[in-house]
Amino acid sequence: MYIVNAPVNEVRKIQPGIFLLKAHCPEITKEIKPGQFCNIKVSTTTSPLLRRPFSVCDIEGEYIFFMFNVHGEGTELLSKKEHGELIDVLGPLGNGFDLDGDYDTAVIAAGGLGAAPFPFFTRMLPKNKNVLSFMGGRSKSDIITYGLKNVQAATDDGSFGFKGTIIDLMNEKIDVLKKDKIKIFSCGPNPMLKALKDFCDKHSFEALASTECAMACGFGICQGCPIESSEDDKYYLVCKDGPVFDIKDIKL
């Protein structure tokens, strides 16, 4: 784990409301794994804001990429960063996706900005694995396809792709999903993950879920990001034990 004052290379809008920040961060890029995250303090000088957790979207040599939307003061500041400005990055943090296993096809299931960790994930998949990406959102503007392969989309309002939820779409494609050995890798809002857990229970699919939670420290000291275990009276910490869990091991 490192704390790095990382110079921003660029911030660009990749689609309406969605930004991609590129920063030079060689200490972290040499160790990061798909599904891990970093905790970012958006200003090294004036900001009183707490660090915010960001999935690592991609790696390019010594550069790290973070995908985000603007939903508060911190992300507003990030979206306006200029070349050479510094961000305080703590990472790599948490446990990422286990890409190993006896499966032929990696099935990505993501809702909205839950797509953020999967460009890096897709590039790091073993060459003998296929990939199929299911993206869900309320409308077309919520569908993110950056860095993904073989995308099928579902929107609640039918403005893009299949009309319905991502789980509705996966049910429509159940014959395709059952044709090969699959392993599901997911990230998104808890209602989506809960529906996915029920779907996986019904069809006996293996699934890993990257969970989202507000954090302060990012490495287990503050105890501020608990998630309930499927076992009685037990809790995990999203930052330390996750953010990626076997979906059957957590309550959603």
Whole-number Å distance between alpha carbons of 145 and 131: 14
List the domain boundaries for the chain: 2-93, 105-249
Task: Please write the tens of the pLDDT for every residue from 124-139.
Answer: 999 999 999 999 999 9
Looking at every residue in the chain, the average pLDDT score rounds to 94
| Alpha-carbon distance values, 163 to 108, 137, 158, 169, 249 (Å) | 19, 10, 4, 8, 30
Determine the pLDDT at residue 42: 81
Per cent of the chain over pLDDT 70 is 98
Whole-number Å distance between alpha carbons of 121 and 116: 10
Mean pLDDT, rounded, for 33-60:
86
Q: Which fold has domain 2-93?
A: Elongation Factor Tu (Ef-tu); domain 3 (2.40.30)
Mean pLDDT, rounded, for 40-64:
85
Looking at the predicted structure, is the pLDDT value of residue 49 above 70? no
Of 140, 192, 144, give the one whose Cα is nearest residue 168: 192
Task: Please write the tens of the pLDDT for every residue from 192-230.
Answer: 999 999 999 999 999 999 998 877 788 888 888 999 999
Domain at 105-249: CATH architecture: 3-Layer(aba) Sandwich (3.40)
Looking at the predicted structure, is the pLDDT value of residue 48 above 80? no
Determine the pLDDT at residue 231: 84
Per cent of the chain over pLDDT 90 is 86
CB-count exposure of residue 114 (10 Å: 0-12, 13-18, 19+): buried
Looking at the predicted structure, is the pLDDT value of residue 47 above 90? no
Mean pLDDT, rounded, for 178-184:
96
| Alpha-carbon distance values, 34 to 22, 29, 74, 82, 195 (Å) | 17, 11, 24, 27, 23
Placement of tokens 């900005």 in the chain = 113
Looking at the predicted structure, is the pLDDT value of residue 46 above 70? no
Residues in the chain: 252
Whole-number Å distance between alpha carbons of 124 and 14: 22
In this structure, what DSSP letter does residue 209 have? E
Mean pLDDT, rounded, for 143-159:
97
Placement of tokens 């037990």 in the chain = 234
Looking at the predicted structure, is the pLDDT value of residue 73 above 90? no
Confidence of residue 45 (pLDDT cuts 50, 70, 90): low
Confidence of residue 95 (pLDDT cuts 50, 70, 90): very high
